[in-house]
Amino acid sequence: KLAGLLLTILGAWYLGYLFAAHVPEETIITSISNLQDIGKKQVLRAPVPKRQKCDHWSPCSPEDYAYRILSGGGKEKLAKICFEDELSIFVYYREMQIHPCSPSLCCVIDSTDHSGEMMTFIENAPEGSLLLMVTHDDGSTRLKNDAKTLVENLGSKEIWNLKFRSSWAFIASKGFKLPDNIQKEKINHSDKKKNRYSGWPAEIQIEGCIPRNLI
């Protein structure tokens, strides 16, 4: 029995020697690696999320317009308005910037005392217009009372609450009613204890989807 065991061990060693001598080293390494992978759980990776219009987390339906209004924050964080993935970035010149985004969309940003120009722009906007408004720096004193009244008549509930450097965003319409389930206005006041920037509150934004058949 001992002789048989020795012969078996010697034969196994000889076969191993022949195998190692004739099989490439790369094949042996690959085989060992494959054996090590056996038993490992398959790692499932989530697909990269598809980018939505105006960087929404969830997409608007094909029957809706997508929009996002972002206020300015500090001197370097400019106000932005996105409508159907078309982005308008307003450069701060300490004067009012008015930008007509499309025939049915009017974007207004006010950062000085040109209230008369703002009022003219809003009053001349045709029926069926969508107006998006946002502040950068101070709109509390540079926006006059008659302009604030006009914005209030468009449905704003916060226009009279603007304080120094308040961040404010607002969406309104002329000639039609916006859906009740969308956020139409947001405001954030400057607070030395809570400001994100030196003398400036954090940016705020509102976003949503508006049915195309309303405009």
At 100-135, the pLDDT tens digits run 445 445 555 544 556 788 888 899 999 999 999 988
pLDDT at 23: 46
In the block, tokens 């998006």 appear at 132
Q: What is the C-alpha to C-alpha distance for residues 194 and 199, in angstroms, rounded to an integer?
A: 10
Give the pLDDT mean for 191-202: 85
Q: What is the pTM of this model?
A: 0.69
- 61: phi then psi, degrees, rounded to nearest 5: -70, 160
Tell me the one-letter amino acid at 39: G
Q: What is the C-alpha to C-alpha distance for residues 179 and 47, in angstroms, rounded to an integer?
A: 33
Domain boundaries, the chain: 1-39, 53-214
